[in-house]
Amino acid sequence: MGKIDKLLAGILIIVVLIVLTLGSVRLIHDIVPVVPADEINYGVTFSPRYATYLQLDWKQAYQTVLTDLKVKHLRLMAYWGEIEPLEGQYDFTNLDYQMNEATKNGADVILAVGRKVPRWPECFDPTWLTIDEEKNNQALLKAIEATVTRYKDSKALAMWQVENEPFFKFGECPSISRETVEAEIKLVKALDPSHPVVTTDSGEWGYFDKLKGLSDKLGISLYRQVNHVILGGLDYAFPAFLYHLKIDLLGWSSEKTIVTEMQSEPWLRTGLMDASVNEQLKVFNIRNFNDNLTYLKTAGFKEVYFWGVEWWLYLKQDGHPEIWEAAKNLFTSKIVKSGSLEAF
């Protein structure tokens, strides 16, 4: 990517910020035509760690996602610290369970490997890592090799994800170099040339050019209700054309882009469990969920993975089933009802 393209990308982001400040972002939604997707494949990201944080039995929660929501597209994570608790000794018990149950229920899986994978704090390092980053990187490649070798023939496997937003500075993680990500992807492709590889970036603030030439597909986040450290709560919904314009400008194509992280839970400045359910629902509720569905129908992306399915179940068990039921209708191809806001 040349200096001119980077300058244009920077100008694009500045323009968006100005529009957001003026509060008129929705008014320019239709300036650049976006072709709606004829059909959208919806899926979810599921994290046992996050389910446990929400005080759910993660296996039971996972079964409910598969059998009640009837989700057929999953994004799962190989947490490095979990699969290699002792150096050179691998334990795939939990991941085996997830992959086997996906197979039994006819679901396909994007399996994320690497040092930085979804959910806070993003990096899930083994406790035995040293201060020698070169040694750590070699150990990481061995862990990836063990994971790919184990699951490359799984009937559930659809795609590999290598690292999660590796060049976007978020989370408690050391910087990840392009050389490291390149080595990881090269290894995955050598071990398993049959499945495509996706790498991801922040849809709103990432520079996708850093990922160009590394993977087969680009995964992006799509956030619409945020809690900015300075500006506070914002609905900073980018018009769909801006995502597509940035994707094309920064060296990718919309056809090879999937939404790997579609916001479907509240963005708080505290941990979710540090806020009451009513406080959570003031930030994100059934109205937001349905607004986002309406947006997706015209946004032109054909593959979308929701972020927050564990929270939907947490809400349901707390007496607020609206989002869970709306999602269930979506996944079972029923009409999504508007739901009621009286409980909020």
Query: Any idea which fold 3-331 has?
Result: TIM Barrel (3.20.20)
**Greatest Cα-to-Cα distance within the chain, rounded to the nearest angstrom:** 56
When mean pLDDT is compared across 4-18, 104-118, 140-154, 210-224, the lowest value belongs to 4-18
Q: Which residue has the tokens 């446990």?
A: 52
Gap between the Cα atoms of 148 and 114, Å rounded: 11
Check: CB of residue 192 under 8 Å from CB of residue 141: no
Check: CB of residue 25 under 8 Å from CB of residue 237: yes
Q: What is the mean pLDDT of residues 267-273?
A: 91
Supply the DSSP symbol for 336.
P
Give the pLDDT confidence score for residue 343 in this predicted structure: 34
Average pLDDT, the chain: 88
Gap between the Cα atoms of 166 and 177, Å rounded: 8
DSSP string of 101-123, one letter each residue: HHHHTT-EEEEEESSB-SSTTSB
Check: CB of residue 89 under 8 Å from CB of residue 53: no
80 pLDDT more than 90: yes
Check: CB of residue 260 under 8 Å from CB of residue 218: no
Residue type, 69: L
Give the pLDDT confidence score for residue 339 in this predicted structure: 40
When mean pLDDT is compared across 28-37, 118-127, 301-310, the lowest value belongs to 28-37
CB-neighbour burial class of residue 93 (10 A; exposed 0-12, middle 13-18, buried 19+): exposed
312 pLDDT more than 80: yes
Q: Which of the four pLDDT bands, split at 50, 70 and 90, describes residue 251?
A: confident
Q: What is the mean pLDDT of residues 214-220?
A: 96
Q: What is the mean pLDDT of residues 273-280?
A: 95
221 pLDDT more than 60: yes
Q: Are strands 197-201 and 217-222 parallel, antiparallel or unpaired?
A: parallel
Gap between the Cα atoms of 325 and 339, Å rounded: 9
Gap between the Cα atoms of 227 and 248, Å rounded: 28
Q: Are strands 197-201 and 108-113 parallel, antiparallel or unpaired?
A: unpaired
Give the pLDDT confidence score for residue 28 in this predicted structure: 46
Give the pLDDT confidence score for residue 344 in this predicted structure: 31
5 pLDDT more than 60: no
Q: Which of the four pLDDT bands, split at 50, 70 and 90, describes residue 22?
A: very low
Give the pLDDT confidence score for residue 45 in this predicted structure: 98
7 pLDDT more than 90: no
Residue type, 318: D
Give the pLDDT confidence score for residue 16 in this predicted structure: 57
210 pLDDT more than 70: yes
207 versus 118: the higher-pLDDT residue is 118
88 versus 7: the higher-pLDDT residue is 88
150 pLDDT more than 90: yes
Q: Pick the closest to residue 34 from 238, 236, 273, 279 (CA basis).
A: 238
13-39: b or e for each residue (b if 16 or more CB lie within 10 Å)? eeebeebbeeeebeeebeeeebeebee
Token representation of residue 258: 């999937």
Angle subtended at Cα 60 by Cα 56 and Cα 61, rounded to the nearest 5 degrees: 60
What is the four-CA torsion angle of 17, 22, 25, 31, rounded to 10 degrees? -100
Q: Which of the four pLDDT bands, split at 50, 70 and 90, describes residue 37?
A: confident
269 pLDDT more than 70: yes
Q: Which residue has the tokens 């393209």?
A: 5
